[in-house]
Chains A and B, each alone.
Chain A
Amino acid sequence: KQEVTQIPAALSVPEGENLVLNCSFTDSAIYNLQWFRQDPGKGLTSLLLIQSSQREQTSGRLNASLDKSSGRSTLYIAASQPGDSATYLCARVDAGAGSYQLTFGKGTKLSVIP
């Protein structure tokens, strides 16, 4: 079974700080990698999808990178805001019999302090 690890489990930063969330995985033969945000009591919202042929994706203040050789992905958040407070999950996508399946990390809970 594939493993996805997100460390730390929780992170607290002051507003305005730039920060990096980490995602590591075993086995570099992933198909693609997706980052999600989850607010308390809500579903997951897709942030960025990095295809296996790409090294990074950007959306606004968010930048996600993928280094398959080292088994790592990072989510960079620039100029953090209190509204960025949420749990951030990464998921690797692997080809399986008949479909492509996701394996999720357990997430990093981010708190941005005003």
Chain B
Amino acid sequence: NAGVTQTPKFQVLKTGQSMTLQCAQDMNHEYMSWYRQDPGMGLRLIHYSVGAGITDQGEVPNGYNVSRSTTEDFPLRLLSAAPSQTSVYFCASRLGMAGELFFGEGSRLTVL
């Protein structure tokens, strides 16, 4: 099993550009989520999904969109990138409502 796979690992954008961070898991997990990690701020939840077709907002959802058309994939879209969105983004998944959480390797995004 590959676990949770994120692409790309690194990305540089200009202010105003849009892009999609991809996340895929092969563990048949119902729950998937996106976090951002910033120095001094810790990990903060952006969006999450409890199953295909169901998404909800986390702590810091502004400027991001998600969709969940399949169990395996949970892409994160930046609509109009801003320097404040420079961060490391992590996708995570788990089986069931409160099971062990598994993380991807992260996507480092720089917005100029």
Please measure, in the bound complex, the distance between the C-alpha atom of A93 and the C-alpha atom of B58, giving whole angstroms: 14
Q: Which chain A residues border B106 with CB–CB below 8 Å?
A: 41-43
A31 touching B98 in the complex, CB below 8 Å, given contacts A43-B103, A44-B103: yes
Number of interface residues of B (CB under 8 A): 22
How distant is B25 from chain A, measured CB to nearest CB, in Å? 13
Q: Which chain B residues border A34 with CB–CB below 8 Å?
A: 100-101
**CB < 8 Å A-B pair total:** 52
A46 touching B43 in the complex, CB below 8 Å, given contacts A99-B48, A99-B50, A101-B58: no
Give the nearest-CB partner of A32 in chain B: B98
**Cβ–Cβ contact A45 & B103, under 8 A:** yes
Answer whether residue A102 sits at the interface, using C-beta atoms and an 8 A cutoff.
yes
**Cβ–Cβ contact A107 & B42, under 8 A:** yes
**Cβ–Cβ contact B42 & A106, under 8 A:** yes
A105 touching B42 in the complex, CB below 8 Å, given contacts A43-B90, A44-B103: yes
Answer whether residue B102 sits at the interface, using C-beta atoms and an 8 A cutoff.
yes
Answer whether residue B12 sits at the interface, using C-beta atoms and an 8 A cutoff.
no
Interface residues of A in 94-112 (CB under 8 A from B): 95, 98-102, 104-107
Q: Which chain A residues border B100 with CB–CB below 8 Å?
A: 34, 46, 49
Pick the residue among B48, B50, B99, B105 that contacts A43 (CB under 8 A).
Answer: B105
Q: Which of B92, B98, B100, B102 has the most CB of A within 10 A?
A: B98
Give the nearest-CB partner of B105 in chain A: A43
**Cβ–Cβ contact B42 & A99, under 8 A:** no
- A-B pairs, top 6 by smallest CB distance, nearest first, are A43-B103, A100-B98, A44-B103, A104-B43, A106-B42, A43-B105
Give the B-binding residues of A (Cβ under 8 A).
31-32, 34, 36, 41-46, 49, 89, 91, 93, 95, 98-102, 104-107
